[in-house]
A = this chain, B = another copy of it.
Amino acid sequence: LNESKNPFDNVPDNVRMPAGFRFTGIKCGIKASGKPDLSLVVCDQPVSAAAVTTRNKVVAAPVILCRERTPSATIRGVVTVSGNANACTGERGAQDAAAMAQQVAEKIGCNPTDVLVMSTGVIGKFLPMPKVQAGIHQAFESLGSETTDFLAAAEAIRTTDAYRKVTFNEIELDGTTYRIAGMCKGAGMIAPNMATFLSVFLTDAPLEADAVAAMLKKVVKLSFNRCSVDGHTSTNDTCLLLASGLGRPGAKKLSSAATEKFTEAMTETAINLAKCLVADGEGAIHYMALEVIGAANDDEAELVAKTVAASPLVKSALSGNDPNWGRIVSAAGYCDATIEPAVMSLKICGIEIYRDGTPLEFDAKTVSNAMKAQVEVPIELRIGRGSGKATYWASDLTVDYVKFNSEYTT
């Protein structure tokens, strides 16, 4: 199972999938490469489901459909195509997304509004519907509930991703072990021939639809909304959480204390996928784990982190293993948070190089070598104003990113 080059993709030998779901990934012919491009999740019974979607005002047809249909207590399936975003495709795009759900619903024998749809890939092209329809038909032939089936589903949502992105977790609550399985895709944030972020989490914990919605919002805020590859928000970003409750058939819904514990486990799980995203950022060599501490409050810490993480100068320095503190401190200075240089301090790879507004003597070569040795480069920026904190993960900016995104293809 561990054939992936992803440093985070450790599929445990004995991992078990959440109860109540079947999955598959197949090739339907959207991608010229012939790689898998249709992913299907089917729920054995109606499940609680919620979605968090892009904040872009230019949204793809399937995003609108997911927004209209969640949160819901009666979701039965999710169908995803990769290689075509079905974005900027107007009325026809909306009809195509609805037709995909309709076909899946007929196969399952449920209401079309109980099926969710996602897509990712080229913007502004219509879906090749005959291929998609034949694909959906074929996908129902190969559904399974094994780990390999889940991995096949994760494989089929990839676009420019160098590897599939999956994560698994377990949590014991009230004497029952509930399972979480997550998949996502995303490398650059958007564009023709490229990316977008999509993610699906499945769990067999018993949660009501509203609880799933509230939880997913919290989880996304601390994981996927704390990642930066290129800062370009996609038209298609969608994250789904489906909870079957079948981890313990007949179990009551989780108590609020148990829900809180479950939210923590979900957050940890989502952070694993968030790290996969930035590690696999287009052209990325490595990424920073940027911890902002001592801000006036958590919101300001997040703003500082987001600004530093988005600076092309900071990201270029990271790719060259340059402990360039001036770029980090000055990026913090141009965001809207309360910043006072005289009380700021900075550590890179645990080595303090700037304290209370003054540069410290440090061996640049040692810090540079430490940066070079890590996939995840830890940077700690202390603001010196309060107790607000935020962690952010951001890929570096490399020559390969620019090459990849500037090559004009006719």
The verdict on A131 contacting chain B, using a C-beta distance below 8 Å, is no
Indicate whether A365 reaches chain B with its CB closer than 8 angstroms. Answer: yes
> Is there a chain B Cβ closer than 8 Å to A43's Cβ?
no
Contact B357–A326 (Cβ < 8 Å): no
Would you list which residues of chain A between 325 and 376 have a CB under 8 Å from chain B? 325-327, 329-334, 339-342, 357-359, 364-365, 368
A59 shortest CB reach to chain B, Å: 8
Nearest-neighbor residue (CB-CB) of A321 within chain B: B408
Query: Does B90 lie within 8 Å of A358, measured CB to CB?
Result: yes
Q: What sequence of 0s and 1s flags, for each residue 66-93 of chain A, a beta carbon within 8 Å of any chain B beta carbon?
A: 0000000000000000000001101000
Task: Say yes or no for A406: interface residue by CB 8 A criterion.
Answer: yes
Q: Which residue of B lies closest to A356 (CB)?
A: B90
Copies of this chain in its oligomeric complex: 2
Q: Is the CB of B410 within 8 A of A364?
A: yes
Interface residue A242 (Cβ < 8 Å from any Cβ of B): no
Could you tell me if A317 and B90 are in contact, using CB atoms closer than 8 angstroms? no
Query: Judging by beta carbons under 8 Å apart, are B357 and A231 in contact?
Result: no
Interface size on A, residues (CB 8 A): 67
Please determine whether A313 and B58 come into contact, CB atoms closer than 8 angstroms.
no
A117 at the interface (CB under 8 A from B): no
A316 is contacted by which of B59, B316, B406 (Cβ under 8 Å)? B406
Partner of A326, one of B88, B312, B407: B88
User: Do B326 and A191 touch across chains, with their CB atoms under 8 A apart?
Assistant: yes
**Hey, which chain B residues are within 8 Å of A321, CB to CB?**
408
Instruction: Identify which of B124, B192, B310, B327 contacts A190 (C-beta below 8 A).
Output: B327
A235 at the interface (CB under 8 A from B): yes
A189–B332 CB distance below 8 A: no
> 1/0 per position for A210-236, CB-CB distance to B under 8 A?
000000000000000000001111110
Query: In the assembled complex, which residues on chain B have CB atoms less than 8 Å from the CB atom of A311?
Result: 230-232
Taken together as a complex, chains A and B put the C-alpha atoms of A314 and B57 apart, in Å, by 17
Of the candidates A88, A326, A359, the one having the most CB atoms from chain B within 10 angstroms of its own CB is: A326
Q: Closest B residue to A320 by CB, please name it.
A: B406
Given A332-B58, A339-B58, decide whether A316 and B232 contact each other with a Cβ distance below 8 A: no
- CA A278 – CA B198 in complex, angstroms? 35
Q: Which of chain A's residues 46-61 have a Cβ closer than 8 Å to chain B?
A: 54-59
Q: Is residue A273 within 8 Å, beta carbon to beta carbon, of the partner chain?
A: no
A403 within 8 A of B: yes
A393-410 interface with B by 8 A CB criterion: 396-399, 401-403, 405-410
Tell me if A319 counts as interface (CB < 8 A to partner B). yes
A327 touches B124 (CB 8 A): no
Q: Which B residues are CB-close (under 8 A) to A410?
A: 364-365, 368
Tell me the smallest distance from the CB of A360 to a CB of chain B, in Å.
10
CA distance A188 to B326 in the complex (A): 14
Check: A246 CB closer than 8 A to any chain B CB: no
Q: List 18 A-B contacts (CB under 8 A).
A: A57-B334, A58-B330, A58-B332, A58-B341, A87-B326, A88-B358, A190-B330, A191-B324, A191-B330, A192-B326, A232-B330, A232-B331, A316-B401, A319-B406, A320-B408, A397-B402, A399-B399, A399-B402
6 smallest CB-CB distances across A and B, nearest first, come from A58-B333, A320-B406, A316-B405, A123-B326, A233-B334, A57-B339
